[in-house]
């Protein structure tokens, strides 16, 4: 037989197998219900589909169990790839490697951190602190410092804390001292000319990519310094997420000093007569961002407040008050009427004014019924008058959505001024309200108290008007236009929420004014008689009704925290005092 011919025995075997395979179906799809589970209460049990094969043909198939899905395989491979990258970069960053190697590895790390999945990976496994511990000596070499600051800057784009420990934060603060530019920082790291050029371009490209995402818009890409990148990373941290340790360490390591110095340096060129050129606006934006950090680290933190108030004889107080007056006066020249306007001069001024108000409120907050900040600031020339101007006239120059915010912030600042300071109470009693810009020929000035009383009754009347509108909706007098019953209910609820929100806003403003006037008359018969003269009825009945509504509202929401309980006690004290005062007045 030739080699191409089949032996009789082999042909017989093949034919037999083919016959057996064809007689019975190789694979059978079987659909069945699962066995009932006595413990299961789920009535909707789906069908179970399985594949079965007969014993005769089982030898032709291999059963593979627990097969992973495609996405599981991808996740596993991605996880292993990230782990390999982390180990490789971490090993190359160690201080036993040449500076050039460490710089290239740091830039490689920054590039990989541009990918959100990689950032999530290093955060989830606590690797960020390991990277910066390997770069502990970055302040000793300008090249390594630039690369380290770039890594910090890239990681900060999430605006979350970067899993920093004390050593990492200290490294970031030390890098603030360097003003070396990216064009010269890498000259001495031992890279070839080609590598040097690529690294410079990479640093600039990374910063440009982050700017394209809407971060650090005012960063000058032609002069990127180590200090600028470190400051951007610091300002991007949300210290509330970082916790109290961040506030303490920032003070102890000199971070507050850096921020105060930055605000002072940027504000020196800003004067009452200023032309808002782009460089000037950039400085004001930087002040705004620094103030947001100060707002967070001074929130109910007595140590940081005292440090800022006493640092260099209160330089931050003088700087903020001057900026406060400048922004207040300039906003009348550059009003903003749309929330969509985020590029105009007025928008930058408005945002900075709001940030200043919040920091001043924190610095005048009382601790143990004493407020060093309010006593220190209230006596500064023109502060009370400027705050009255912000309260009474500045809301006319901002979008409707922010009028309430401006009014409440100004009222809280005035309340902080007078709550524990007799001197500030007299200053407010003697202060004049800002003149009406529309009344050109009005020669007489209105007292600040008279303006506050007028605003109180205006807000109280608006609150009652909104309440009547809400009642009209509930009674069916005011029906929304809707094409179906479902849309009718949805639009009715929307109208109720809108009216209730406006009613509550007006009530809160009126209540804050009542609190302010209540603190003014506290234990001072002279001031009480002065304020009574400005009240239409000569008594506190309307104020007490508003305060009682405010008190009930705060009682319902007292679960918000300790601040609420403190506010409840203060409101209750004012209500009690005004009630007793009215009773005494009626008896006499």
Whether the pLDDT of residue 8 is over 60: the answer is no
Segments of 333-453 assigned E as strands: none
Q: Where are the domains of the chain?
A: 78-237, 453-587
What integer pLDDT is reported at residue 181 of this predicted model? 72
Q: Please, what is the average pLDDT of the chain?
A: 81
Residues 6+ apart with CB under 8 A from 191: 100, 103, 104, 199
The beta-carbon contacts of 552-556 under 8 Å, at least 24 apart in sequence, are: 553/504, 553/507
**Verdict on whether the full-model pTM lies above 0.85:** no
What integer pLDDT is reported at residue 516 of this predicted model? 95
DSSP lists the bridge partners of residue 181 as 225
pLDDT tens readout for residues 96-145: 999 889 989 999 999 999 988 888 888 888 888 899 999 999 988 888 88
pLDDT tens readout for residues 261-305: 989 998 988 876 678 888 888 889 889 888 988 998 898 889 999
CA angle 230/235/239 to nearest 5° reads 120
CA nearest to 300, candidates 240, 241, 257, 230: 240
Task: Work out the pLDDT band at 10, boundaries 50, 70, 90.
Answer: low
Q: Which of 36-40, 106-110, 573-577 has the lowest average pLDDT?
A: 36-40
What integer pLDDT is reported at residue 557 of this predicted model? 72
Average pLDDT, stretch 192-216?
Answer: 84
- Name the most confidently modeled range: 204-213, 234-243, 463-472, 497-506: 204-213
Whether the pLDDT of residue 476 is over 90: the answer is no
What integer pLDDT is reported at residue 2 of this predicted model? 42
- CA dist 523 and 148 (Å) reads 59
Give the phi and the psi of residue 220 in degrees, each rounded to 5.
-80, 110
Among residues of the chain, what percentage have pLDDT more than 70? 78
Query: Beta-carbon neighbour count of residue 247 at 10 Å?
Result: 22
Task: Work out the pLDDT band at 4, boundaries 50, 70, 90.
Answer: very low
User: pLDDT: is 349 or 445 the higher one?
Assistant: 349
Whether the pLDDT of residue 585 is over 90: the answer is no
The two three-digit tokens of residue 341, written as one number: 């306007």
Cβ burial of 152 (10 Å; 0-12, 13-18, 19+) is buried
- CA dist 462 and 420 (Å) reads 31
What integer pLDDT is reported at residue 496 of this predicted model? 45
Length of the chain, in residues: 588
Whether the pLDDT of residue 156 is over 80: the answer is yes
What integer pLDDT is reported at residue 3 of this predicted model? 47
- CA dist 70 and 186 (Å) reads 44
pLDDT tens readout for residues 242-266: 567 778 888 888 889 989 998 999 8
CA nearest to 511, candidates 419, 403, 411: 411
- CA dist 253 and 234 (Å) reads 13
Task: Work out the pLDDT band at 439, boundaries 50, 70, 90.
Answer: low
Residues 6+ apart with CB under 8 A from 443: none
């Amino acid at each position: 037989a030739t080699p191409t011919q089949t032996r009789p025995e082999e042909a017989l075997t093949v034919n037999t197998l083919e016959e057996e395979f064809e007689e019975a179906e190789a694979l059978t799809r079987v659909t069945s219900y699962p066995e009932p589970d006595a413990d299961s209460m789920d009535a909707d049990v789906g069908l179970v589909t399985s594949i079965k094969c007969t014993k005769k043909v089982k030898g032709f198939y291999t059963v593979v169990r627990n097969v992973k899905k495609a996405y599981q395989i991808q996740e596993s491979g991605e996880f292993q790839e990230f782990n390999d990258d982390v180990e490789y970069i971490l090993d190359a960053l160690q201080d036993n490697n040449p500076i050039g190697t460490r710089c290239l590895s740091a830039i490689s790390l920054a590039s990989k951190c541009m990918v959100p999945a990689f950032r999530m990976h290093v955060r989830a496994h606590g690797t960020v602190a390991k990277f910066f511990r390997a770069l502990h000596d970055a302040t000793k070499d300008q090249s390594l410092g630039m690369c380290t600051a770039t890594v910090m800057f890239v990681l900060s784009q999430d605006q979350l804390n970067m899993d920093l420990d004390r050593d990492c934060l200290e490294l970031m603060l030390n890098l603030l001292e360097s003003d070396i530019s990216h064009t010269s920082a890498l000259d001495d790291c031992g890279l070839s000319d080609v590598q040097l050029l690529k690294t410079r371009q990479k640093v600039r490209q990374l910063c440009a990519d982050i700017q394209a995402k809407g971060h650090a818009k005012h960063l000058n890409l032609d002069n990127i310094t180590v200090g600028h990148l470190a400051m951007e990373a610091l300002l991007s941290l949300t210290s509330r997420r970082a916790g109290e340790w961040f506030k303490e360490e920032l003070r102890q390591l000199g971070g507050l000093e850096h921020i105060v110095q930055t605000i002072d340096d940027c504000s020196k060129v800003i004067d009452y007569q200023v032309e808002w050129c782009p460089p000037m606006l950039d400085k004001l934006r930087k002040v705004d961002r620094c103030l947001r950090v100060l707002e967070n680290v001074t929130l109910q933190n007595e140590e940081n407040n005292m440090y800022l108030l006493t640092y260099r004889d209160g330089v931050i107080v003088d700087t903020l008050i001057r900026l406060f007056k400048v922004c207040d006066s300039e906003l009348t020249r550059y009003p903003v009427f749309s929330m969509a306007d985020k590029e105009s001069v007025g928008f930058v001024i408005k945002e900075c004014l709001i940030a200043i108000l919040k920091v001043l409120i924190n610095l005048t907050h009382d601790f143990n019924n004493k407020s060093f900040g309010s006593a220190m600031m209230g006596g500064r020339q023109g502060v009370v008058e400027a705050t009255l101007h912000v309260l009474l006239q500045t809301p006319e120059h901002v979008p409707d959505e922010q009028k309430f915010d401006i009014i409440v912030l100004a009222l809280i600042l005035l309340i902080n001024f007078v709550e524990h300071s007799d001197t500030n109470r007299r200053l407010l009693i003697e202060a004049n309200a800002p003149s009406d810009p529309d009344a050109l020929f009005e020669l007489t000035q209105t007292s600040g108290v008279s303006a506050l009383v007028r605003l109180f009754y205006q807000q109280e009347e608006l609150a009652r008007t909104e309440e009547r509108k809400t009642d009209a909706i509930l009674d069916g007098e005011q029906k929304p236009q809707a094409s179906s019953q479902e849309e009718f209910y949805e639009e009715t609820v929307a109208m109720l929420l809108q009216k209730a929100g406006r009613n509550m806003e007006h009530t809160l403003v009126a209540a804050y004014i009542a609190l302010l006037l209540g603190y003014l008359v506290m234990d001072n018969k002279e001031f009480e008689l002065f304020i009574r003269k400005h009240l239409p009825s000569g008594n506190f009945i309307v104020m007490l009704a508003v305060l009682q509504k405010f008190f009930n509202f705060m009682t319902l929401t007292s679960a918000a925290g300790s601040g609420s309980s403190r506010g409840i006690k203060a409101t209750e004290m004012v209500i009690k005092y005004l009630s007793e005062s009215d009773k005494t007045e009626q008896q006499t």
